[in-house]
Amino acid sequence: MKFEFKNCDGVLQGTLIAPVLEGMGVPPRLVREDKEETLARAMTAQNFTGKKGEFCTVLMPTGLCVTLAGVGKPEGAVETWLQTVGGTLATVLKSVRHKEVMICTSGLSDVKVKTATAAAYLTFGLGLGAYSFDVYKTKKKETPEVELVRILSSDPEADETAFESLFAVLNGVYEARDLSSEPANMLPPAEFVEAVKALKMKNVTLKVLDKKQMQKLGMNLLLTVAQGAAEAPYLLIMEYMKGKKEDAPVVLVGKGVCFDSGGMNLKPSASLTHMKYDMSGGAAVVGTLHAVSELGLKQNVIGLVPLVENMLSDRAAHTDDVIQSMNGKTVEIANTDAEGRLILADAMWYGQETYHPQTLIDIATLTGVMKYVFGSQYAGLFTNDKGLGSALKKASDETVMDQIWELPLHPDYEKMLSSDIADLSNIGKGGDAGSATAAMFLKNFVADGVKWAHLDIASVGWLSADKPCAPKGATGFGVQLLTQYFINRENA
Ligand code: BES
Ligand code: ZN
Ligand code: ZN
C-alpha cells in the first residue's frame, strides 16, 4: 500500500473516507463539494453525529462515494489518538472495493499536534492497522485491495516530511510482523539471517556467528538449546555505529527461538500453537535497527539475535543437564522449556564483552504467565536502573501500541533460582513469580555497572483479535517503543 499527500483542489472523484469529530458536522473540505447538502442531510437522516464508531456512507450527485467515520473527541495525547483514528479508518479501507482511496482530514484541522502533523500521525495509524500477511494465499481475493491511499492535504510538503520519519518506523513494524508471521518451516535460523540480509539496511554491518565460532567462545547455554534441532543455530549481529566513536553503544538483544516445542519438557498441544512467534523479540530488534538506520540517528546501536530452534530429539538437552555459560556460571537445566533465558544469557554476555555498553536492553517472549497478568495490554518491564526505566516508559507512552508496565525485581527472587548442583537453576523453585524469576535469571548475566532493562513481550507479541493499530496475529511489538527511545535519546 502506498501513501501520497496531495493538494486536491479540483472536483473529487472516486472513493473518499473522512473522519468526523463529534458534533462538528460536515468536514470543511467536503462542504465545498456538497452543493446540494447531500452529506448534511444524510447525516441527519442517519442520526450521524460523529460519535466514535459511527459510520455513514453516501453517494454524492457528482458520483463521489463518501464514507464518514465518527471519531468522537480527542482523548489523551492527541498524537496517539490520531493514530488510533487512522487504525479505525484501516477497517473501513478493508471494505472498499477500489484500488485507490482518498482520505480527507480537514475535519481534524482543529486538532493541534506539537511534532509532525495530524495527517502524518493519522496515516501512520492507518498503515499500522492496514497490515496483512497473505504471502501464502494462492487464491486471489475477489475484491481488489486498496493499493494507493491519497491523503488530501492543505500542505502536502509538510505532511510528506512529517510522515517520512513515521514511515521508517512503520516499515520496521511491518518487517518485524512479517518475520514473526513466517512459519518455522519457512524461517528457521539460517533463513532468518538471509531475510535480514535481504533488507539491505543502510549503514548497518551484519555479522553472523556460526556454531563453531560460538563453541570457541563458550556460548554453551545457547548451543545446548539448539542441539536437539536439525537446524543450525546462529548469532546475528547488526552494528549501526553512527554516533561518536567514544560513545559506548546501546546493545539490544532479541530472543530468536524460531520454534519452541519446549524440548524434553514438551509443551502441551494447545501451547504449541503459534510457537513460531517465539522469535518476535529478535524480529523487533531487526525492525528497530532498520528504523534507526533509516532515520539516520547519530548513535551507536548494536542488535543481537541469538537464533535457535528448541526441538526434541535424541540429541536434545536432558532435564538435569548442567551447562557452563559463556560468563563461567554453571546452570542446571531444570526445565528445557525455559530456553529463552539460556540463549539470551550467552548473547547478552557476548554483547557486553564485545561492545562494552552502558545500556543493555533485551526483548523476549519469555514467560507465558505474562498473558495472565496483563492480557494483551502491556509488556512487562524489569530493570536495574530507574533512569532507563523511565526513559523506556516515556517512549512507550508516546506510542499507540507498545505499552509497558514495570514489575519488581525483588532480591529474594534470586534465592528461588538456587540449585543443589550448579550455580543457578534455569527456573524458579515452586514455579511462583515465573516472569520475575526469569528476569532475575537474566540479571545474573548483566555485568556490574551496566544499565539493563528486560522487556517480556510474551503477552503482546501475538494478538488473537484485531486492535485498531494491530490486526490479529504478529504485532511487531517493540519497534515503535525502542525506536522512540532512540529518537528521544537523540533529542535529549
Ligand atoms: N516461549 C515461551 C513463553 C511463551 C509462552 C511465549 C506463551 C508466548 C506465549 C518460553 O520459552 C517458555 O516456555 N516459558 C515457560 C517457562 C517455564 C518453563 C518456567 C512458560 O512460560 O511456561
Ligand atoms: Zn519455552
Ligand atoms: Zn520460548
In the three-class reduction of DSSP (H, G, I as helix; E, B as strand; rest coil), residue 275 is classed as helix
Q: Mutate which of 277, 331, 337, 460 to test ligand 1's pocket (most atoms within 8 Å of Cβ)?
A: 337
29-65: pLDDT as tens digits: 999 888 899 999 999 999 999 999 999 999 999 999 9
Average pLDDT (462-481) is 98
Residue 257 CA, closest ligand 1 atom number: 1
- Tell me the mean pLDDT in the region 181-187: 98
- Measured in Å, residue 422 CA sits from the centre of ligand 1 at 22
Residues 6+ apart with CB under 8 A from 124: 83, 86, 163, 166, 167, 169, 170
Contacts of 10 (CB under 8 A, 6+ apart): none
Residues 6+ apart with CB under 8 A from 355: 248, 249, 251, 302
Query: How many whole angstroms from 50 Cα to the centroid of ligand 1?
Result: 44
User: To test ligand 1's pocket by mutation, which of 278, 331, 425 has the most ligand atoms within 8 angstroms of CB?
Assistant: 278
Read off the pTM.
0.97
Band (pLDDT 50/70/90 cuts) for residue 371 is: very high
How much is the average pLDDT of 469-477? Answer: 98
pLDDT digits (tens, 9 = 90+) for 266-287: 999 999 999 999 999 999 999 9
Is pLDDT of 167 > 80?
Answer: yes
Q: What percent of the chain has pLDDT over 90?
A: 91
pLDDT more than 70, % of the chain = 100
Ligand located closest to 429 CA: 1
pLDDT at 143: 78
- Reported as a pLDDT band with limits 50, 70 and 90, residue 380 is very high
Give pLDDT tens digits for 85-94.
999 999 999 8
- Ligand 1 site, CB within 6 A: 260, 278, 335, 337-340, 365-369, 427, 434, 458
Ligand 1 centroid to residue 8 C-alpha, Å: 52
C-alpha dihedral (58, 60, 63, 64), degrees to nearest 10: -70
Residue 112 pLDDT > 90: no
> Average per-residue pLDDT in the chain?
96
Q: Mean pLDDT, to the nearest integer, of 64-71?
A: 95
Catalytic residue list: 267, 341
Ligand with an atom nearest the CA of residue 426: 1
User: Which residue, by CA, sits nearest to atom 13 of ligand 1?
Assistant: 337
Task: Indicate if the pLDDT at residue 127 is higher than 80.
Answer: yes
**Average pLDDT of span 194-223:** 98
- Residue 368's pLDDT band, with cuts at 50, 70 and 90, is very high
pLDDT at residue 115 greater than cutoff 80: no
Does residue 414 sit in helix, strand or coil? Answer: helix
Q: Looking at ligand 1, which residue's alpha carbon is closest to its atom 22?
A: 368
For residues 149-173, average pLDDT: 95
In this predicted structure, the answer to whether residue 392 has a pLDDT above a threshold of 80 is yes
Q: Which of 393, 197, 203 is nearest to 295 (CA)?
A: 203
Residue 10 binned pLDDT confidence (cut-offs 50, 70, 90): confident
Q: Does 1 or 486 have the greater pLDDT score? A: 486
pLDDT tens profile 402-411: 999 999 999 9
Q: Which of 482, 407, 393 is nearest to 440 (CA)?
A: 407
- CA torsion angle 356 358 363 366 (round to 10): 80
With bands split at pLDDT 50, 70 and 90, how would you rate the model's confidence at 109? confident
Give the Å distances, CA to CA, from 320 to 315, 352, 424: 15, 28, 12
Concatenated DSSP letters of 106-175: GGGTT---SSS-HHHHHHHHHHHHT----TT--SPPSSPPP-EEEEE-SSHHHHHHHHHHHHHHHHHHHH
Instruction: Look up cell 442517519; give the residue.
Output: 46
pLDDT at position 17 = 97
Ligand 1 centroid–CA 378 distance in Å is 17
Backbone angles phi, psi at 49, to 5 degrees: -115, -5
Is the pLDDT score of 95 beyond 90?
no
Interatomic CA distance for residues 282 and 332, integer angstroms = 25
The mean per-residue pLDDT over the stretch 382-409 comes to 98
